Amino acid sequence: MNKVKTALLAAAAVIGVSGQAAAADAKACWIYVGPIGDFGWSYQHHAGLLDVEKAFGDRVETAYLESVAEGADAERAIERFARSGCDIIFTTSFGYMEATNAVAERFPDVKFEHATGYRRDHPNVTTFNSKFYQGRYIQGQIAAKMSETGVAGYIASFPIPEVVRGINSFILGAQSVNPDFSLKVVWVNTWFDPGKEADAAKALVDQGVDILTQHTDSTAAMQVAEERGIKAFGQASDMQAFGVNTQLTSIIDDWGPYYVERVQAVLDGTWEQQDVWGGMIEGHVAMAPYRNMPYEVAATAKITERDIMIGRSEPFTGPITKQDGSEWLPAGQRAEIGELLSMDFYVQGVDDQLPQQ
């Protein structure tokens, strides 16, 4: 085996392949679950990579792999990065959790950053996520003020805590304005299928909702809303171009500041394991400009945004009643992180049954 390897390496030398070209101080690597062209989840992570390039220039070398399937392929891709001289590897999907921890065990000197997971089996694994639900609360408030029918439509992907949290936060925000506000939820069982998302959007509009929001990645629902003349919220990125007269605001996943901070820590030698759940305060969640709404609605939204930002307000603060009528949080009490992370129930006001309850 070694002879073969030597021969192959010699061949490589002859045809002029440079093994090490790195003059940079550090190498940062990303693994995406979708194509960077999804204009949603993976697109935004890639925008974070570009921020790192902008911030560090030649000091940091970057690399990425896109559309890496969760499962056996992920472990190989992560291991390849670990072996190719990456100092820090960002694995940006929940499904990479096992693979990230497995590779981290074998490469104790490489730093691993896993998005949206909860396992940190080794000291070189950090988990990070963003409190997108904070933005959903603001959206709920805006929806309740803008809606004439008092019903909003929610295009949901999969019933995982992340999505359920968003739905609950949205309805809580809406009920803070209009206690009778209700929400129709349609599960499309995909993160990304423009046609299906458009169909779901049309179905919701036909059923009388006049505000659309989505927890799927494409811009299709926004276009449907624009065509049908109702309002909608964007997802992951600013979708203004797809809904000029429609988009009220959008929750923007802004991973750039976090990535720059963590790469900086690697350069400084100060990187440490952590469990980050950053929200608006940390700059992980930003709202696209408030548009297509009266001044006073935008003003209220900005006040709520500021309150959340400075920690004065938090969406999941009691009194909150569960969908089944039982009390969840007494007045004034804030939800614990563990409860939020594993949320598998609706609060009152959601016109849907959570799958598998």
Partner 1 sequence: MRLELEKRGEHSAMFSAISPIIAVAVTALLGALMFAALGKPPLQALYSYFIEPLTEVWSIHELLVKATPLILIALGLAFCFRSNNWNIGAEGQFIIGAMAGSIIPVMFPDLRGPWIVPAMMICGMIGGGLYAFIPAVLKARFNTNEILSSLMLVYVAELFLDWTIRGPWRDPDGFGFPQTQRFHADAILPEMFSASGRAHFGFVFAILATLVAWYVLSKTMKGFEIRVLGESARAGGFAGFNAKRMIIFAFVVSGALAGLAGISEVSGAIGQLRPSISPGYGFTAIIVAFLGRLNPAGIFAAGLVLALSYLGGEAAQISIGVSDKVASVFQGILLFTVLACDTLIRYRVRLRSSAPALAPESVAP
Partner 2 sequence: MTPEVIVSIIATVMTAATPLLIAATGELVVERAGVLNLGVEGMMVVGAVAGFAGAQLTGNAWGGVGLAIACGAAFSLLFGILALTLATNQVATGLSLTLLGLGVSGMVGEAFIGQPGVKMASVNIPGLSDLPIVGPLLFGQDPIFYISIALVVGVSWFLFKTRAGLQLRAIGNNHGSAHALGIRVITVRYLAVMFGGACAGLAGAQLSLVYTPQWTEDMTAGRGWIALALVVFASWRPGRVLIGAYLFGAVTIAQFHAQAFGVAIPSQLLSALPYVSTIVVLVLISANRRMTMQNTPAALGKTFVPDH
| Smaller CB separation from partner 2, 29 or 156 | 156
* Rg over CA atoms, the chain: 22
* Distance from chain centroid for Cα 52: 18
| Residue 85 vs 159, nearer CB to partner 2 | 159
| Helical H segments across the chain, by residue range | 2-14, 41-56, 72-83, 97-106, 132-146, 161-175, 194-206, 220-228, 256-268, 295-309, 337-341
Of residues 129-188, those binding partner 2 (CB under 8 A): 153, 184-188
Least CB distance to partner 2 at residue 191 (A): 11
Residues forming beta bridges with residue 183, ordered by sequence position: 152, 350
Structure tokens at 36: 């960077």
Residue 216 CB coordination number (10 Å): 27
Q: CB of 257: closest distance to partner 1 in angstroms? A: 25
337 counts as binding partner 1 under rule CB under 8 A:
no
Binding of residue 277 to partner 1 (CB under 8 A):
no
Q: Which is nearer to partner 1, 78 or 209 (CB)?
A: 78
The least distance separating partner 2 from the CB of residue 322, rounded to whole angstroms, comes to 17
Quick check: helix, strand or coil at residue 19?
Answer: coil
Select the span of 51-59, 67-75, 220-228, 235-243 touching partner 1 (CB under 8 A). 67-75
Q: Is 227 in the site for partner 2 (CB under 8 A)?
A: yes
Give the shortest CB-225-to-partner 2 separation in angstroms.
12
First to last CA, the chain: 55
Residue with tokens 């999907």: 93
Interacting positions 295-334 with partner 1 (CB under 8 A):
none
Q: Which does 353 bind (CB under 5 to 8 A by kind): partner 2, partner 1, none?
A: partner 2
Q: Indicate whether 68 belongs to the interface with partner 2 (CB under 8 A).
A: no
Binding mask 34-53 for partner 1 (x = CB under 8 A): -xx-----------------
Pick one of 70, 307, 314, 352: the residue that binds partner 1 (CB under 8 A): 70
Residue 90 contacts which entry, partner 2, partner 1, none (Cβ below 5-8 A, type-dependent):
none
HEC assignment per residue over 274-300: CEEEECCCCCCEEECCCCCCCHHHHHH
CA dist., res. 138 & res. 270, Å (int): 36
103 binds, among partner 2, partner 1, none (CB under 5 to 8 A by kind): none
223 lies in the site for partner 2, by CB under 8 A: yes
Query: 141 vs 21, 119, 181, 304, CA distance in Å?
Result: 53, 34, 10, 9
Measure Cα distances from 224 to 23, 122, 240, 244, 245 in Å.
Answer: 49, 46, 13, 12, 12
By CB under 8 A, tell whether 94 contacts partner 1. yes
* DSSP designation for 335: P
Contact flags string 109-128 toward partner 1, x per CB under 8 A = ---------x----------
Nearest to 122 by CA among 135, 141, 109: 109
Q: CA triplet 147, 346, 221: central angle to 5 degrees?
A: 45
Which residues of the shown chain bind partner 2 in the complex (CB under 8 A)?
A: 35, 37-39, 43, 153, 184-190, 192-200, 202-207, 218-220, 223, 227, 237, 241-242, 351-353, 355-356
Binding site for partner 1 (CB under 8 A): 1, 4-5, 8-9, 11-12, 15-17, 35-36, 63-67, 69-73, 75-77, 79-81, 83-84, 94-95, 98, 118, 158-161, 164, 189, 341-344, 355-356
